[in-house]
Amino acid sequence: MNKQNYIATRLGGENFDKQAGNKFTVIKENKQKFLEKNPEMALIDLGVGEPDEAAPLCVIEALKACCGSWDLRGYADNGADFFVAAIRRYMQRIFNVTLRPEEILPIMGIKSGLGLLAGTLVNPGDVVACTVPGYDVFATQTGYLGGQTILMELRAQCGFLPEIEALDEDVKRRIKVVQINYPNNPTGAVATLDFYRHLVDLACRYQWVIIQDAAYSALEFEERKSILQVPRANQCCVELHSMSKAFNMTGWRLGWICGNEAILRACAKYKSNCDSGQFLPIQKAATVALDQADVLLPPLRQKYQRRLEALLTILKKHNIAVFEPKGGLFIYAKAPTGVVYKQYQRTEHFANAAEFAQWLLSTLGVVVVPWDDCGSYVRFSATFATANESLFLHQFDQTLDAYIFLEA
């Protein structure tokens, strides 16, 4: 059978197999090739985007205790009441946000939630504004559904906040949804409450829906913020939260959307035709994590902050221009335009971040994520897995010593 007869056009149709994979797929493939070619070398993997620890022991024990429960064996549908209750307690305690049960929808992770929101909100021809660089699931789903995406570039001189005022008045009137993500992946920037207030004011004026991907909100270093703290936000906003990053529960696939009740009611209807909810014992275990957040979160934030500060010191030492993160797991840095090998004074130049990232892997065994969406940047992650953090960082530092990096 010819592929064009059964592969949807939105996925490439007959050209499906000719399309390049996304950057993360390519990185995994390149890592595997490197390890096969260099079995004696250990990777210095600073590209991983998921936690390097298991879920807290209390959470694992809670799952063990109830995973065989007869009462919890069935479909979860749109979320368990006990998990929703834990979310309400958590949002009140961590963000000072009061929510009603109707303003919460449990989901199977933020990726799933963004897809559900796209299916709930986007019609063919609708205009959606998304930030770039960023997590592109909502923008991709918008394209699948026949919508149009406007990319709002995040620039250092604006604190990596979108310059919404720079949009034409006609564009502002056409926008239906604005999607943001703070603390931001990959820049590490955080949004201020003033920014959230201004965004909510614009949303009310132009009748936008605001989607705030708050996957890293619990890992904001100075102060945890939610857009739902802003008056009138529940009229136009929904915010997505995750158990993955803050509670080391990436593979457990659980989170929630909270905010505007009407949007969540529609999303729940759409969701009921897409999945049957997450396994109830996982939701039961997650309630333990949420209720112990005050104990579990501070050490995790301290670990990532310590690692990020150490990475910043190393990168600055080697003339790599970095932006100091205010939350999350990552450092965003300008990709060098070239390197000089000190011993032989040989210079190699890079056209973009992807070339620099490939050189780091093939030459030094260092893995990073390239970001060429608006300029040439790379992302360094603090989620590296190691038995000896100091030794790992020392090895990374020494690995760079043989080169002079040419600043962009």
pLDDT band with cut points at 50, 70 and 90 for residue 214: very high
> Has residue 11 been placed in a domain?
no
Looking at the fold, whether 266 and 118 belong to one and the same domain comes out as: yes
> Has residue 226 been placed in a domain?
yes
Enumerate the β-bridge partners of residue 340.
Answer: 347, 404
Looking at the fold, whether 374 and 242 belong to one and the same domain comes out as: no
Domain coverage including residue 343:
21-49+295-403
Among 246, 275, 291, residue at a domain's last position:
291
**Mean local confidence (pLDDT), 196-206:** 98
Looking at the fold, whether 166 and 192 belong to one and the same domain comes out as: yes
Return the structure tokens found at 184.
Answer: 């931001």
Looking at the fold, whether 284 and 319 belong to one and the same domain comes out as: no
The count of domains in the chain is 2
> Has residue 116 been placed in a domain?
yes
Looking at the fold, whether 312 and 235 belong to one and the same domain comes out as: no
Among 291, 317, 341, residue at a domain's last position:
291
- Residue 3 scores a pLDDT above 70: no
Looking at the fold, whether 90 and 145 belong to one and the same domain comes out as: yes
Q: What is the DSSP string of 98-123?
A: ---GGGEEEES-HHHHHHHHHHHH--
Looking at the fold, whether 286 and 301 belong to one and the same domain comes out as: no
Spatial distance between the Cα atoms of 316 and 168, rounded to a whole number of angstroms: 38
ω before 336 within 30° of 0 (cis)? no
Looking at the fold, whether 324 and 182 belong to one and the same domain comes out as: no
Tell me the per-residue pLDDT of 309-328, one tens digit each, with 9 for 90 and over. 999 999 999 999 999 999 99
Among 239, 265, 291, residue at a domain's last position:
291
* Residue position matching structure tokens 């703070």: 182
Q: What is the pLDDT of residue 17?
A: 79
Query: What CATH number did the domain enclosing 361 receive?
Result: 3.90.1150.10
Looking at the fold, whether 39 and 83 belong to one and the same domain comes out as: no
Average confidence score pLDDT of the chain: 95
Looking at the fold, whether 161 and 219 belong to one and the same domain comes out as: yes
Looking at the fold, whether 161 and 228 belong to one and the same domain comes out as: yes
Looking at the fold, whether 165 and 257 belong to one and the same domain comes out as: yes
Query: What CATH number did the domain enclosing 91 receive?
Result: 3.40.640.10
| 75-79, 116-120, 195-199, 261-265, range with the lowest pLDDT | 75-79
